[in-house]
């Protein structure tokens, strides 16, 4: 089954903003294809009698009522920020 | 949406956050019941199909306004699909109401889904600053079909949509407070061409009229570019309202790959119970209210539209019209005198010094003939200024309409005697002279005589 599973590790790494060396790309290519191969095994099963589910557990409608709660103070929220100014998180300039 | 942080416009930065909306590791989301109800209610108001089963998905993207690197949104099972927004004449900009291309058009929708809003970024000279107060606010995304054909129609679409959201108490939908935001996708194409042109997205408009201006600018810009033989590419542009121009923000790099997948931290939603909960909240919609005002109160189609355009105004009218002998007069007073007095004082209808019952009392004083229309104007100004009741002002100032036929007859006799020429003109067939004589009688009575009665008596006297 493993030979039918395909993954473009270089592309996925780019999407996930991960820099991989050539060696790593090659290594993960083999490893991840093997993982996908396991998933492919499911295709071999006859699932025609199984209803498709949106979640692994058959539980629905777990809600919270619309009641406001106190959270963190601005000081606490910013405590781990590498950079901050005027109560704001400061990050490297991003181009909008 | 998934945490209990307060939503407050203009709060100090990062003062309404928690581990969930900051995207801290290990924090878990829980769905806000009310946000789901309001989305389903909106779907019902707009005639959408409500999905029996809905779920949330993770949309992966990397940007500092969403530090967990995915936004919880909905992908393949949104809460609502299809439906439409009905446009009506008054929803168009004032200067465009006379030339509406397709009156009573219904703009079809694609879907409505619910997601968490992201943080607000401030782009500074050398860096970017982030405020997470807005992060995690429930955001209902309403997507229309590409069937809006002019900037004026886009204006009407947003106005009509906003009205419906206010009617349903879903949102105050104030664009300046960010309660309603809008991204527009616009394209132009040669008249004969079937397929749509390159889709260009415009952001940053903070009022409905700014949306109209931005679209008008874009139609012209794109048309000129095509006429020059340029090829338009899919891109995102920003609107600079001060300059009255759009500017390039980014071109569409490689098509976005959001790698959507089902949010494992949230269980799916069955909407049946939500539907039951909101059915009773379904309001009378603007279109139905307009029709009912015409039917029930006998106001004109136009007046009904103006009254129903503003839910607070409609409520005021209805409260006043309920006990009125002539609801149409109540409508006239609201639409003319009351609205101009409010505008003059810079006040909203919710802050009106005259209560609906007080206005009703004034109108009934006129209808029953106790005071004349002219006297009523004076009483009205006094009511608006002092907040006193019409009856109190009438008795305080001794305002009273003269309804005694004997007294009016005497006045008419005096006027006829003093004006031989107009009298002769009237008897010679010039009916306009009657109005002049009537004016003289009213003047003689110091505006107190009942005009209708004066007209009647005068005519009778002149004809005998």
A50 vs B: CB within 8 A? no
Asked if the Cβ–Cβ distance from A74 to B13 is below 8 Å, we say yes
Flag whether pLDDT at B255 surpasses 60.
no
Predicted model pTM: 0.84
Chains A–B, number of C-beta pairs less than 8 Å apart = 123
Q: In this predicted structure, what is the pLDDT of residue A96?
A: 53
A51 vs B: CB within 8 A? no
**Out of A69, A78, A91, whose CB is closest to B14?**
A78
Question: Six-digit token pair at B79?
Answer: 């809460």
| Helix, strand and coil in chain B, % to nearest 5 | 45, 15, 40
**3-state SS, residue B454:** helix
Domain ranges of chain A: 9-43
Nearest CA in chain B to A94: B128
If pLDDT is split at 50, 70 and 90, which confidence band does A14 have? Answer: confident
Asked if the Cβ–Cβ distance from B34 to A66 is below 8 Å, we say yes
Nearest Cα neighbor of B176 from B334, B384, B9 is B9
Task: Provide the percentage of residues in chain A whose pLDDT is more than 70.
Answer: 93
Question: Six-digit token pair at B163?
Answer: 């009205």
Report DSSP letters for B32-91, one per residue: EHHHHHHHHHHHHHTTPEEPSEE--EEEE---TTSTTSEEEE-SSS-SEE--EEE--GGG
The whole-chain average pLDDT of chain B stands at 91
Asked if the Cβ–Cβ distance from A68 to B4 is below 8 Å, we say yes
Give the tens place of pLDDT for each residue, A52-80.
Answer: 777 888 899 999 999 999 999 999 999 99
Flag whether pLDDT at B41 surpasses 60.
yes
Report DSSP letters for B237-267, one per residue: EEEETTTTEEEEEEE--S------EE-TTS-
Q: In this predicted structure, what is the pLDDT of residue A58?
A: 86
Nearest CA in chain B to A53: B268
The whole-chain average pLDDT of chain A stands at 87
For an interface test with A, the pick among B30, B72, B127, B251 (most A C-beta atoms closer than 10 Å) comes out as B127
Q: Which range is most confident: A13-17, A48-52, B99-103?
A: B99-103
Residues of B in contact with A65 (CB under 8 A): 33-34
Asked if the Cβ–Cβ distance from B36 to A17 is below 8 Å, we say no
Asked if the Cβ–Cβ distance from B32 to A64 is below 8 Å, we say yes
Q: Among the listed ranges B7-16, B143-152, B367-376, B410-419, which one has the minimum average pLDDT value?
A: B367-376
Q: Check if CATH label 2.60.40 holds for domain A9-43.
A: no
Flag whether pLDDT at B438 surpasses 90.
no
Question: Six-digit token pair at B307?
Answer: 């009254």
Listed in sequence order, the DSSP H helices in B346-429 are 356-367, 373-386, 390-397, 405-418, 420-427
If pLDDT is split at 50, 70 and 90, which confidence band does B254 have? Answer: low
Task: Provide the percentage of residues in chain B whose pLDDT is more than 70.
Answer: 99
Residues of A in contact with B235 (CB under 8 A): none
Residues of B in contact with A63 (CB under 8 A): 30-33, 36
Q: Using CA atoms, how far apart are residues B155 and B149, in angstroms rounded to an integer?
A: 11
Residues of B in contact with A85 (CB under 8 A): 129
Asked if the Cβ–Cβ distance from B30 to A95 is below 8 Å, we say no
Maximum pairwise Cα distance, chain B:
99
Residues of B in contact with A73 (CB under 8 A): 15
Provide mean pLDDT across the span B419-440.
86
Asked if the Cβ–Cβ distance from A63 to B33 is below 8 Å, we say yes
Q: For chain B, which domains are there?
A: 33-170+253-279 (no CATH), 286-397 (no CATH), 405-462 (1.10.10.410)
Question: Six-digit token pair at B414?
Answer: 């005096």
Beta bridge partners of B270: B53
If pLDDT is split at 50, 70 and 90, which confidence band does A19 have? Answer: very high
Residues of A in contact with B132 (CB under 8 A): 77, 89
**3-state SS, residue B31:** strand
The minimum CA-CA distance between B32 and chain A, rounded to whole Å, is 5
Note the residue count of chain A: 96
Q: Among the listed ranges A25-34, B32-41, B107-116, B249-258, which one has the minimum average pLDDT value?
A: B249-258
Residues of B in contact with A17 (CB under 8 A): 62
Q: In this predicted structure, what is the pLDDT of residue A1?
A: 38
A17 vs B: CB within 8 A? yes
A96 vs B: CB within 8 A? yes
Nearest Cα neighbor of B57 from B36, B75, B32 is B75
Provide mean pLDDT across the span B35-43.
98
Q: In this predicted structure, what is the pLDDT of residue B363?
A: 87
């Amino acid at each position: 089954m493993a030979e039918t599973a395909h993954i473009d590790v270089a592309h996925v790494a780019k999407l996930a903003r991960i820099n991989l060396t050539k060696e790593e790309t090659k290594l993960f290519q083999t490893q991840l294809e093997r993982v996908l191969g396991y998933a492919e095994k499911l295709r071999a099963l006859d699932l025609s009698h199984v209803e498709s589910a949106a979640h692994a557990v058959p539980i629905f409608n777990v809600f919270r009522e619309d009641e406001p709660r106190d959270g963190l103070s601005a000081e606490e929220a910013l405590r781990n920020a590498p950079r901050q100014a005027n109560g704001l998180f400061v990050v490297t300039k991003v181009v909008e | 949406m998934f945490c209990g942080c307060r939503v407050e416009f203009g709060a100090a930065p990062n003062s309404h956050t928690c581990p969930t909306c900051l995207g801290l590791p290990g924090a878990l989301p829980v769905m806000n019941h009310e946000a789901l109800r309001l989305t389903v209610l909106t779907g019902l108001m707009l005639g959408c199909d409500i999905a029996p089963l809905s779920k949330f998905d993770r949309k992966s993207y990397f940007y500092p306004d969403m530090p967990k690197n995915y936004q919880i949104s909905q992908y393949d099972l949104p809460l609502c699909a299809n439906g439409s927004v009905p446009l009506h004449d008054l929803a168009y900009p004032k200067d465009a109401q006379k030339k509406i291309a397709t009156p009573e058009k219904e703009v079809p929708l694609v879907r409505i889904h619910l997601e968490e809003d992201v943080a607000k970024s401030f782009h500074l000279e050398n860096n970017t600053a982030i405020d997470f107060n807005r992060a995690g606010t429930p955001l209902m995304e309403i997507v229309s079909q590409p069937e809006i054909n002019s900037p004026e129609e886009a204006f009407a679409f947003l106005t009509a949509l906003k009205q419906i959201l206010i009617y349903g108490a879903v949102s105050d939908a104030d664009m300046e407070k960010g309660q309603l935001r809008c991204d527009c996708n616009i394209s132009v194409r040669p008249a004969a061409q079937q397929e749509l042109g390159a889709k260009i997205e415009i952001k940053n408009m903070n009022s409905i009229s700014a949306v109209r201006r931005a679209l008008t600018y874009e139609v012209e810009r794109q048309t000129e570019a095509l006429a020059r033989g340029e090829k338009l590419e899919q891109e995102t542009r920003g609107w600079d309202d001060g300059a009255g121009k759009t500017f390039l923000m980014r071109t569409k790099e490689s098509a976005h790959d959001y790698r959507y997948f089902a949010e494992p931290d949230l269980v799916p939603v069955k909407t049946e119970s939500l539907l039951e909960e909101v059915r009773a909240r379904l309001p009378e919609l603007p279109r139905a209210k307009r029709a009912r005002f015409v039917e029930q109160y006998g106001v004109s189609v136009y007046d009904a539209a103006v009254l129903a355009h503003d839910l607070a105004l409609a409520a005021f009218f209805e409260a006043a019209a309920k006990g009125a002998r002539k609801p149409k007069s109540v409508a006239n007073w609201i639409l003319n005198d009351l609205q101009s007095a409010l505008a003059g004082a810079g006040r909203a209808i919710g802050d009106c010094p005259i209560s609906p019952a007080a206005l009703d009392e004034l109108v009934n004083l006129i209808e029953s003939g106790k005071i004349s229309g002219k006297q009523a104007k004076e009483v009205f100004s006094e009511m608006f200024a002092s907040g006193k009741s019409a009856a109190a002002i009438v008795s305080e100032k001794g305002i009273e309409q003269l309804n005694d036929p004997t007294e009016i007859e005497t006045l008419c006799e005096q006027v006829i005697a003093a004006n031989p020429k107009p009298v002769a003109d009237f008897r010679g067939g010039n009916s306009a002279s009657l109005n002049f004589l009537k004016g003289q009688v009213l003047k003689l009575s110091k505006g107190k005589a009942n005009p209708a009665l004066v007209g009647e008596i005068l005519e009778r006297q002149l004809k005998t």
